[in-house]
Amino acid sequence: MATDPATETGPHAGRTPQQTVVLILAAGAGSRFDGTGHKLSAKIDVGGQNRSVSVIERSITNALAANLGPVMVITGAVDDIVPSHLLDAVTVVHNDRWHEGQITSLLRGIDAARGLGATIAVVGLADQPFIDPAAWRAVATTAGPIAVATYDGRRANPVKLDRDVWDLLPTTGDEGARALMRLRPELVREVACSGSPADIDTTEDLRRWQSN
Protein backbone atom coordinates (compact mmCIF):
# COMPACT_ATOMS: atom_id res chain seq x y z
CA MET A 1 0.00 0.00 0.00
CA ALA A 2 1.50 3.31 -1.02
CA THR A 3 1.77 6.09 1.53
CA ASP A 4 -0.12 9.23 0.63
CA PRO A 5 2.08 12.20 1.59
CA ALA A 6 -1.05 14.32 2.01
CA THR A 7 -2.03 12.27 5.08
CA GLU A 8 1.29 12.90 6.85
CA THR A 9 2.22 16.05 8.70
CA GLY A 10 5.42 17.00 10.49
CA PRO A 11 9.14 17.51 9.97
CA HIS A 12 9.75 14.08 8.44
CA ALA A 13 6.84 14.01 5.98
CA GLY A 14 9.28 14.32 3.06
CA ARG A 15 11.36 11.53 1.65
CA THR A 16 14.83 11.97 3.17
CA PRO A 17 16.30 8.46 3.70
CA GLN A 18 16.49 7.42 7.35
CA GLN A 19 17.86 4.19 8.81
CA THR A 20 15.75 4.02 11.99
CA VAL A 21 12.20 5.27 12.45
CA VAL A 22 10.27 5.24 15.73
CA LEU A 23 6.57 4.37 15.47
CA ILE A 24 4.22 5.29 18.32
CA LEU A 25 0.80 3.70 17.91
CA ALA A 26 -1.93 6.06 19.11
CA ALA A 27 -4.93 5.15 16.96
CA GLY A 28 -7.27 3.34 19.35
CA ALA A 29 -10.49 4.72 20.80
CA GLY A 30 -9.51 3.91 24.40
CA SER A 31 -12.94 2.40 25.05
CA ARG A 32 -12.01 0.99 28.50
CA PHE A 33 -11.27 4.47 29.82
CA ASP A 34 -14.34 6.03 31.47
CA GLY A 35 -12.79 9.37 32.40
CA THR A 36 -13.28 12.69 30.67
CA GLY A 37 -11.83 12.81 27.16
CA HIS A 38 -9.45 10.33 25.58
CA LYS A 39 -7.10 8.41 27.86
CA LEU A 40 -4.03 9.67 25.97
CA SER A 41 -4.92 13.25 26.90
CA ALA A 42 -5.27 12.43 30.60
CA LYS A 43 -2.65 13.94 32.90
CA ILE A 44 -0.03 11.99 34.83
CA ASP A 45 2.65 13.21 37.21
CA VAL A 46 6.24 13.74 36.12
CA GLY A 47 8.37 12.37 38.93
CA GLY A 48 10.41 14.96 40.78
CA GLN A 49 9.28 17.84 38.57
CA ASN A 50 6.11 18.90 40.42
CA ARG A 51 4.07 19.02 37.23
CA SER A 52 1.77 16.92 35.10
CA VAL A 53 1.75 16.10 31.40
CA SER A 54 -0.56 14.07 29.20
CA VAL A 55 0.00 10.36 28.74
CA ILE A 56 0.84 10.75 25.06
CA GLU A 57 3.17 13.69 25.72
CA ARG A 58 5.23 11.60 28.15
CA SER A 59 5.37 8.72 25.65
CA ILE A 60 6.46 10.97 22.80
CA THR A 61 9.06 12.93 24.77
CA ASN A 62 10.68 9.72 26.01
CA ALA A 63 10.89 8.41 22.45
CA LEU A 64 12.31 11.71 21.21
CA ALA A 65 14.89 11.70 23.99
CA ALA A 66 16.22 8.37 22.72
CA ASN A 67 17.44 10.27 19.64
CA LEU A 68 17.05 7.34 17.27
CA GLY A 69 15.62 9.08 14.24
CA PRO A 70 12.25 10.39 13.03
CA VAL A 71 9.34 9.76 15.39
CA MET A 72 6.01 8.98 13.74
CA VAL A 73 2.75 8.95 15.69
CA ILE A 74 0.02 6.80 14.13
CA THR A 75 -3.40 8.27 14.87
CA GLY A 76 -6.90 7.05 14.12
CA ALA A 77 -9.90 7.49 16.39
CA VAL A 78 -8.79 11.00 17.41
CA ASP A 79 -6.78 13.00 14.89
CA ASP A 80 -5.67 15.86 17.15
CA ILE A 81 -4.37 13.69 20.00
CA VAL A 82 -0.75 14.89 19.65
CA PRO A 83 -0.08 18.03 21.78
CA SER A 84 0.33 21.05 19.52
CA HIS A 85 3.76 21.96 20.90
CA LEU A 86 5.11 18.57 19.75
CA LEU A 87 3.84 18.75 16.19
CA ASP A 88 7.10 20.25 14.95
CA ALA A 89 9.05 17.34 16.45
CA VAL A 90 7.07 14.38 15.11
CA THR A 91 5.29 13.19 11.98
CA VAL A 92 1.59 12.41 12.37
CA VAL A 93 0.34 9.58 10.15
CA HIS A 94 -3.38 8.84 10.06
CA ASN A 95 -4.70 5.27 9.92
CA ASP A 96 -8.24 5.30 8.60
CA ARG A 97 -8.53 1.54 9.30
CA TRP A 98 -7.75 1.85 13.01
CA HIS A 99 -11.04 0.18 13.98
CA GLU A 100 -9.93 -3.06 12.27
CA GLY A 101 -7.26 -3.74 14.88
CA GLN A 102 -3.83 -2.66 16.07
CA ILE A 103 -2.03 -4.43 13.26
CA THR A 104 -3.48 -1.93 10.77
CA SER A 105 -1.79 0.91 12.66
CA LEU A 106 1.52 -0.96 12.72
CA LEU A 107 1.28 -1.64 8.98
CA ARG A 108 0.38 1.99 8.33
CA GLY A 109 3.48 3.04 10.24
CA ILE A 110 5.64 0.51 8.43
CA ASP A 111 4.36 1.84 5.13
CA ALA A 112 5.34 5.37 6.18
CA ALA A 113 8.75 4.10 7.28
CA ARG A 114 9.26 2.55 3.87
CA GLY A 115 8.50 5.93 2.37
CA LEU A 116 11.42 7.39 4.33
CA GLY A 117 13.74 4.62 3.14
CA ALA A 118 14.06 3.23 6.65
CA THR A 119 15.62 -0.15 7.40
CA ILE A 120 14.56 -0.39 11.06
CA ALA A 121 11.26 0.41 12.76
CA VAL A 122 11.12 0.60 16.55
CA VAL A 123 7.55 0.35 17.78
CA GLY A 124 5.86 1.42 21.01
CA LEU A 125 2.42 2.32 22.29
CA ALA A 126 1.27 5.81 23.19
CA ASP A 127 -0.46 4.54 26.33
CA GLN A 128 2.82 3.28 27.84
CA PRO A 129 4.37 6.55 29.05
CA PHE A 130 6.96 5.12 31.44
CA ILE A 131 9.25 3.41 28.95
CA ASP A 132 12.67 5.00 29.40
CA PRO A 133 14.67 6.52 26.54
CA ALA A 134 17.35 3.97 27.48
CA ALA A 135 14.94 1.14 26.71
CA TRP A 136 14.19 2.60 23.28
CA ARG A 137 17.93 2.82 22.56
CA ALA A 138 18.75 -0.64 23.89
CA VAL A 139 16.12 -2.33 21.75
CA ALA A 140 16.91 -0.28 18.64
CA THR A 141 20.62 -1.13 18.74
CA THR A 142 20.29 -4.87 19.42
CA ALA A 143 21.38 -7.09 16.54
CA GLY A 144 18.86 -9.46 15.01
CA PRO A 145 15.74 -9.23 12.85
CA ILE A 146 13.45 -8.66 15.86
CA ALA A 147 14.36 -7.31 19.30
CA VAL A 148 11.87 -7.00 22.15
CA ALA A 149 12.18 -5.32 25.52
CA THR A 150 11.73 -7.39 28.66
CA TYR A 151 10.94 -6.14 32.15
CA ASP A 152 11.56 -8.63 34.96
CA GLY A 153 11.63 -11.33 32.30
CA ARG A 154 8.33 -10.41 30.64
CA ARG A 155 8.15 -9.19 27.06
CA ALA A 156 6.69 -5.78 26.36
CA ASN A 157 7.42 -2.71 24.23
CA PRO A 158 9.32 -1.34 22.46
CA VAL A 159 9.93 -3.84 19.67
CA LYS A 160 12.49 -3.45 16.90
CA LEU A 161 11.60 -4.81 13.47
CA ASP A 162 14.21 -4.94 10.72
CA ARG A 163 13.01 -4.33 7.19
CA ASP A 164 13.60 -8.02 6.35
CA VAL A 165 10.65 -9.05 8.55
CA TRP A 166 8.14 -6.34 7.63
CA ASP A 167 6.53 -8.48 4.95
CA LEU A 168 6.14 -11.33 7.48
CA LEU A 169 3.79 -9.33 9.69
CA PRO A 170 0.15 -10.48 9.77
CA THR A 171 -2.37 -8.34 7.93
CA THR A 172 -5.28 -8.72 10.38
CA GLY A 173 -5.72 -8.81 14.13
CA ASP A 174 -5.13 -6.74 17.24
CA GLU A 175 -1.70 -7.98 18.31
CA GLY A 176 0.88 -5.93 16.46
CA ALA A 177 4.12 -7.93 16.16
CA ARG A 178 3.35 -10.48 18.87
CA ALA A 179 1.86 -12.99 16.44
CA LEU A 180 5.02 -12.91 14.32
CA MET A 181 7.21 -13.39 17.39
CA ARG A 182 5.22 -16.47 18.36
CA LEU A 183 5.44 -17.94 14.88
CA ARG A 184 9.13 -17.19 14.34
CA PRO A 185 10.82 -17.34 17.76
CA GLU A 186 14.22 -17.92 16.15
CA LEU A 187 14.15 -14.34 14.85
CA VAL A 188 13.66 -12.77 18.27
CA ARG A 189 16.27 -11.33 20.65
CA GLU A 190 15.18 -10.30 24.15
CA VAL A 191 16.61 -7.14 25.71
CA ALA A 192 16.41 -6.59 29.48
CA CYS A 193 15.32 -2.98 30.06
CA SER A 194 14.77 -0.52 32.86
CA GLY A 195 11.64 1.57 33.26
CA SER A 196 8.08 0.30 33.26
CA PRO A 197 5.81 -0.97 30.47
CA ALA A 198 2.71 -0.10 32.51
CA ASP A 199 -0.10 1.09 30.28
CA ILE A 200 -2.96 3.48 30.94
CA ASP A 201 -6.19 1.76 29.93
CA THR A 202 -8.62 2.66 32.72
CA THR A 203 -9.21 5.45 35.21
CA GLU A 204 -7.86 3.09 37.89
CA ASP A 205 -4.59 2.80 35.95
CA LEU A 206 -4.46 6.57 35.72
CA ARG A 207 -4.96 7.16 39.44
CA ARG A 208 -1.88 5.08 40.25
CA TRP A 209 0.23 7.73 38.56
CA GLN A 210 -1.47 10.81 39.96
CA SER A 211 -0.62 12.47 43.26
CA ASN A 212 -4.17 13.75 43.84
Q: What global pTM score does this model have?
A: 0.87
Rg (CA), the chain: 16
Q: Which pLDDT belongs to residue 168?
A: 97
H/E run at residue 56: helix 55-65
Q: Which pLDDT belongs to residue 209?
A: 67
Q: Which pLDDT belongs to residue 201?
A: 80
- Cα of first residue to Cα of last residue in the chain, in angstroms, is 46
Q: For residue 176, what pLDDT band results from cuts at 50, 70 and 90? A: confident
Q: Which residues pair with 122 in a beta bridge?
A: 22, 160
**For the chain, which domains are there?**
5-207 (3.90.550.10)
- The length of the chain is 212
Q: What is the pLDDT of residues 85-119, one digit of tens each?
A: 999 999 999 999 999 999 999 999 999 999 999 99
Q: What is the pLDDT of residues 6-32, one digit of tens each?
A: 344 444 444 334 599 999 999 998 877
Q: Tell me how far apart the alpha carbons of residues 196 and 193 are, in angstroms, rounded to a whole number.
A: 9
Say what the alpha-carbon torsion angle 191, 72, 128, 192 is, to the nearest 10 degrees: 10
- pLDDT of 59 > 90? The answer is yes
Mean pLDDT across 167-174: 93
Q: Torsions phi, psi of 89, nearest 5?
A: -100, -15
